[in-house]
Chains A and B, each alone.
Chain A
Amino acid sequence: MAGISRDAFLIAALARLIGDARSVAVGAGSPIPAAAALLAEEASGGRVRPMILGSSLCGPFNDNGPELFDRAGQGRIDVFFLGGGQIDGAGNINLVGTGPYPKPETRFPGSFGSAYLYFMVPRVILFREEHSRRVLVPKVDFISAPGASDVPLERRGGPDALLTGKALFRFSGARRRFGLESVHPGATMDEVRAGCGFEFDCPDAAPETPAPPVEWLALMNGPVRRRVAEVYPAFAETRLGA
């Protein structure tokens, strides 16, 4: 990751995952996904349309209330980002707490819209920078949103990929498990394994997650930083500062 910041690297990796999506929504407390959605918009010449919760400039379809969820319900959101206090190998995420419920050992904020959006948005990108056995667990203690459902449940979406600070995984809906896609520069396969509490499909050698092209760095230092500051001023100043 020489020459670029860790944040810029992760923003670019998420922007790449957005791919050819059109409508990309970003929820609360998500500065890096918000920056990624803005980068994808800038890099695509406006084809990608970000909807950022809390933004009045980047939420042209957002009434600040239920519209985000209504749009997702109609299938008009292509990509959404979720994190997780715990994430397991079956793609289940836990945003509620560790240990027993309802009196957890450590209480997390809550499920937000995950229990709904995980079903309604075709591609949900999981992002959690901490790559540790504390986060990447064999089985979550509380299922805020399940990674997969048994038919005949109406479900159009679910996990697509998981980006951590060390690696990128892709989720297979058919196999109901993650497969290692690439390892970030500076991290090793052993570290990726050691920090992951769940089993995943693993090739003998994984490629390196590519670094962002030079043009993307310019976009991140310019318009992306300026625009993300509307919702995340502290992040824009301290973490995306030139």
Chain B
Amino acid sequence: MTGPASLIALDALAERIPDGALLAVPKDESGVAMAASRALVRRAVKELHLLCVPTSGMQADMLIGAGCVGTVECGAVSLDEFGYAPCFRRAAETGAIRVLDSTCPAIYAALQASEKGQPFAPLRGVIGSDVQRHRADWKVIQNPMAEGEDPVLILPAIRPDIALFHAPLADVHGNVWVGNRRELVIMAHAAAATLATVEEIADINLAADERYAAGTISALYVDALAEAEGGARPLGLHGRYGRDDGALRAYAEAARSEDGFQSWLDRHVLSGREAA
């Protein structure tokens, strides 16, 4: 690796995420670093502030169930076709985690503010909802550009400590190709540091190839990379492999009880070593 990013092992990548970190992760379709999340569970990270961009599924649910999360900030946490997210639901109902309820475009807008180095972002709508009422960090201002009365919501910029995701391809210079998963670009630009796992690392320069450049996150933003083949499994990875519906269904069923989740975790995470 000749770029600023360093190529490290999966467990070493997980070591770079400290307890209490504000960790940004993408929604299920966009390249979720599941292998790295399992490594995080094994190293028993605590009190994460998990920012779901803008939603999460099994990743958030598993990290919550394993006791890694203090706060989850999200548009939603759900297993979609496989039903509600059982550990998230349990932890929210018992108060074991703090849920910072947001709405999807607010998360994007706050990250985009950070991307631009701006203190806040305005967003239409939301005013009068209980989402807004329960967010003391959000404010309503008069639109300073309007002649008449025009209240607008403003959101403080969110600067994650770390953005974590899984992508199909990186190059030897540390550039990471994410295709049209634009929220990954926003996450990487907004965060203080980016950690990525990738299917493969090729001896090319993604930034110098027009076919890849538009979907590439520059190595400037990428602090460390780990190679993890199948690193999004059992979730899918765009262009590479589909979601393992059987595994998702089995998780959704097992996690319905605390005991069921613990035995699932023992079997699939704690006793297992990642292949990569």
Contacts and interface: CB of A to CB of B under 8 A. Distances in A.
Nearest to B125: A119
Contacts of B108: 65-66, 69
A56 interface: yes
Contact of A145 (B80, B112, B124, B129): B129
Contacts of A234: 81, 245
B75 A110 contact: yes
A116 B124 contact: yes
B103 to A, nearest CB: 4
Contact of A64 (B106, B127, B181): B181
Interface residues of A, number: 50
Interface string B100-113: 01111110110010
B13 interface: no
A67 to B, nearest CB: 7
B88 interface: yes
B144 interface: no
Contacts of A110: 55, 74-78, 99, 101-102
A205 interface: no
Contacts of A112: 54-55, 75-76, 103-104
Interface stretch (B130-138, B157-165, B194-202, B261-269): B130-138
Contacts of A56: 180, 238
Main SS of chain A's interface residues?
loop
B186 interface: yes
A113 interface: yes
B106 A116 contact: yes
A115 interface: yes
Main SS of chain B's interface residues?
mixed
A118 interface: yes
A29 to B, nearest CB: 4
Contacts of B103: 111-116, 144
Contacts of B134: 101-102
Interface in B152-189: 152, 180-183, 185-186
B104 A69 contact: yes
A66 B112 contact: yes
Contact of B125 (A31, A115, A150): A115
Contacts of B80: 28-29
B85 interface: yes
Interface string A201-242: 000000000000000000000000000000011110000000
Interface stretch (B17-25, B32-40, B89-97, B223-231): B89-97
B67 interface: no
A103 interface: yes
Contacts of A232: 81
A146 interface: yes
A145 B130 CA distance: 8
B127 A143 contact: no
A29 B85 contact: no
Interface string A94-108: 011100011111111
A114 B112 CA distance: 20
A17 B92 CA distance: 36
B98 interface: yes
Given A64-B29, A65-B182, A103 B95 contact: yes
Q: Which of B88, B124, B180, B185 has the most chain A CB within a 10 Å cutoff?
A: B124
A232 B81 CA distance: 8
Contacts of A77: none
A149 interface: yes
B127 A73 contact: no
B252 to A, nearest CB: 12
A157 B92 CA distance: 31
17 contacts: A28-B76, A29-B81, A65-B186, A66-B112, A69-B104, A104-B92, A106-B93, A107-B84, A109-B76, A110-B74, A110-B75, A110-B102, A111-B75, A111-B76, A115-B131, A143-B131, A235-B81
Interface of B: 27, 29-30, 54-55, 74-78, 80-81, 84-85, 88-89, 92-95, 98-99, 101-106, 108-109, 112, 123-132, 134, 148-152, 180-183, 185-186, 238, 245
Interface of A: 28-29, 31, 54, 56, 63-67, 69, 73, 95-97, 101-120, 142-146, 149-150, 152-155, 232-235
